[in-house]
Structure 1
């Protein structure tokens, strides 16, 4: 591997601090000691790396790192090769400004630096440090999804490095089966070294901030949510969290709104009025000029959070009071049981689902196109001793949500971007799995891409 003639960099343990820095992930639980870390600077660097890895006996495991924000070890390898795309982070706006092409190692913050200057929008992550590739290939739920659908619904094309070393363009007209599969099928088919997205008109300014309530107000908050969603428009969304904010660490309900087209907070004043009628203990909503600013809103809180982090999540059909109350009770009991895990939190996203339902369920690999929302459990621990408890907690809560949702509505399976890898592929991809297996057989029959939710190729 050290003798490969590539333009990029190959790191090993002997590389010292630069190797250690390249191992770092958003969660300390996501880092594994790779034998080699390859940082390509051109797309042609990647095929010889793949060929070399597969020529070993046995072949070396290959992982791909975009942003490294996922809390699994999908972007890491213990003794294998990590293809680290961080130096492939260019963002190019088309001359007509109708699209933007983003390399696979870019973060959403890199994209917003470009689009903000041109007063344009792209359907991307609410957090600047999330990688563009992983976020998109898993579906891509965005603050702009209410108006414009998911990130995969805004993909125009992608350049993909295949397991056999070919570099192809996937689009509706070239390699259409591959284009279908990577929109919601994850990284099971190749390395998306760039993705082209539609751009949209400026959606700001934004109303963004915090409304917080004591846990005793959960029934009242859930009642307001049920009423509020009957008048919610695609321009309004929020994340609700169950968390224990410092310094008192009391069980709290925190509403984090993002309101689009909010000149002088006039829309926020109207749409948040029902929540303010509950007299929150904290009410801090301020104008944000652009998505770059919005994406940095959580920086301070995340910087202080324990870095032993595991995340799982799933879909749910509605904000059923009995579902959320059951999760609340389990979360309160868990975070009261051990001070080491009290930073663990539960997130509930409430983006207007109308636009994502306009796409047929078989038009992309993403299984869920009926109205739905998503939730995630963040298991955080301050000590190694409590990591397993945090893992077990996240597993139990998402299982509870899935079971309760099946009782109250229908089974929506698992959310690929919030999986850990032990979930069954049929529960992630549903009826689309059969076609995904056919595409896998065509583009990766030897399962070179074996990190994440592995899709078995059709025999």
Structure 2
């Protein structure tokens, strides 16, 4: 049954031509201010850093994002090579009050979250990975993607709690919380951070730790880009060698696959074992992409057996022993690179057989009804074992409560034409709302008290929704660290003092 009025959605988006846009006078003023800021930055930075303008290869690299929904034509782009230069850049931005953006990996598709028509800052030159074997930590530049980090640390026999798929930037992932393949063993990525190198909104810079500034350290853990620009993070490492895992792509026998998923979630207690399950509709067909992971060269018998020889037909099956780098690079997260996209999330308290079935139907529903405009429709279940927030007593901006950890259901729609943006934005919101109602009907009453994972937040989620009871404290820290609201000149999930 068609629950959603698709024609109403389409008609509503035809009316978006009535939206108000900036006047020509406003655009001229903002462009003039941005040009002035770019000139000042060019004169202020050292030869180690570099500024680029439209038409250059450096500029195109700096403004490019994983999805064109978050790619804008900046007035200039700049690649600072050190905190001193970045401090000068931030001071100029603050004095000229020009819009700016900071890009680490550029993977978030939300418009304005790391792109701008003003000054685009790209952190590529903060690109080192250093390992301290005595301290058991790794210091990592936020201009890297996690693939780069694993390539350095794998040969050293250590792991960090980085991203699960390819192409994810260190900066945004870490500041948003960070779910890794090791969450069952160490918690969130932010739970393993020992220090942040931060350029503050006034241009000053230095390291922030739990002892040097406990409140700011708290705010940076999940607080995204609200308190300055993080250029390096120091993370705890843990011993790690080869891992086992890969992708199985099922095209039939979905009931048997869902039975295997349900059994895994209910019975597996080995913290080294993890799965990600994606119901996707692509090229006109429903399929299930099942990622299996074990933190070790071979999983014990029985953990993943139900995903093999279960009668379900698969067209891909590449599970094997490999390095973490190779495993992450084998994921298909970049299959939709270059398409328009939007994310959303539903925090679940349980992953039930009913919810798996409902999501399979939901995937098919949107995939079929948007067949002429959609490239990809995906819903990913991310189960974990027990409360993964229990690994630290150190508070963080997010999650506001560590009493329990939910299972984030990640929703990803992708399409090609900008004219369909509103249609897919409305659809993904309606889908998330419907799935929340399904969860409530199952008895998952907690769902109204959960706080969306910052890295999956949709563009109009509010700071109150994400940070909950922590918002008041975060506002106080914001007033102290950024009294002139310089970080308010960039996009993202904003904490307004």
Fold match (TM-score > 0.5): yes
Output the CA distance in 1 between the equivalents of 2:376 and 2:105. 23
Moved more, 349-358 or 18-27: 349-358
Output the CA distance in 1 between the equivalents of 2:375 and 2:117. 34
SS at match of 2:363: helix
SS at match of 1:431: helix
Matched residue, 2:385: 352
SS at match of 1:229: helix
Is 2:124 the partner of 1:86? yes
Matched residue, 1:98: 136
Matched residue, 2:276: 239
Task: Name which of 151, 171, 175 aligns with 2:209.
Answer: 171
Structure 2 runs not aligned, ≥5 long:
1-37
Output the CA distance in 2 between the equivalents of 1:25 and 1:132. 15
Is 2:355 the partner of 1:323? yes
Matched residue, 1:383: 417
Output the CA distance in 2 between the equivalents of 1:347 and 1:116. 27
Task: Name which of 229, 240, 246 aligns with 1:191.
Answer: 229
Moved more, 403-412 or 370-379: 403-412
Change in 2 beyond 3 A, CA 1:405/1:428: farther
TM-score with structure 2 setting the length? 0.84
Matches within 5 A, 1:277-296: 278-282=310-314, 284-296=317-329
Aligned residues: 446
SS at match of 2:61: helix
Is 2:407 the partner of 1:373? yes
Output the CA distance in 2 between the equivalents of 1:17 and 1:186. 29
Is 2:80 the partner of 1:40? yes
By how many angstroms is 1:194 displaced?
0.6
Matched residue, 1:254: 289
SS at match of 1:168: strand
By how many angstroms is 1:277 displaced?
5.5
SS at match of 2:266: coil
By how many angstroms is 1:205 displaced?
2.7
Output the CA distance in 2 between the equivalents of 1:118 and 1:413. 37
Matches within 5 A, 1:66-215: 66-96=104-134, 98-214=136-252
By how many angstroms is 1:157 displaced?
0.5
Is 2:273 the partner of 1:273? no
Matched residue, 1:10: 51
By how many angstroms is 1:443 displaced?
0.9
By how many angstroms is 1:455 displaced?
0.7
Matched residue, 1:343: 376
Structure 1 runs not aligned, ≥5 long:
none
Task: For residues 8-42 of structure 1, give each alpha carbon's deviation from its aligned partner in whole angstroms, at most 9, with x where no partner exists.
Answer: 111222x4333122211000111011122111011
Contact residue 413 and residue 430 of structure 1 kept, 8 A: yes
Is 2:469 the partner of 1:437? no
Output the CA distance in 1 between the equivalents of 2:166 and 2:190. 18
Output the CA distance in 1 between the equivalents of 2:95 and 2:347. 41
Change in 2 beyond 3 A, CA 1:251/1:102: same
By how many angstroms is 1:332 displaced?
1.3
SS at match of 1:4: helix
SS at match of 2:412: strand
Output the CA distance in 2 between the equivalents of 1:426 and 1:353. 26
Contact residue 243 and residue 345 of structure 1 kept, 8 A: yes
Output the CA distance in 1 between the equivalents of 2:434 and 2:356. 10
SS at match of 2:227: coil
Output the CA distance in 1 between the equivalents of 2:263 and 2:392. 27
Matched residue, 1:312: 344
Change in 2 beyond 3 A, CA 1:363/1:32: closer
SS at match of 1:87: coil
Contact residue 182 and residue 365 of structure 1 kept, 8 A: no
Contact residue 306 and residue 381 of structure 1 kept, 8 A: no
Contact residue 207 and residue 258 of structure 1 kept, 8 A: yes
Is 2:495 the partner of 1:455? yes
Task: For residues 133-182 of structure 1, give each alpha carbon's deviation from its aligned partner in whole angstroms, at most 9, with x where no partner exists.
Answer: 11011110001111111100100111111101111311111111111111
Output the CA distance in 1 between the equivalents of 2:264 and 2:452. 27
Output the CA distance in 1 between the equivalents of 2:217 and 2:175. 10
Change in 2 beyond 3 A, CA 1:443/1:304: closer
Change in 2 beyond 3 A, CA 1:43/1:116: same
Matched residue, 1:417: 455
Output the CA distance in 2 between the equivalents of 1:456 and 1:405. 32
Output the CA distance in 1 between the equivalents of 2:428 and 2:304. 30
TM-score with structure 1 setting the length? 0.90
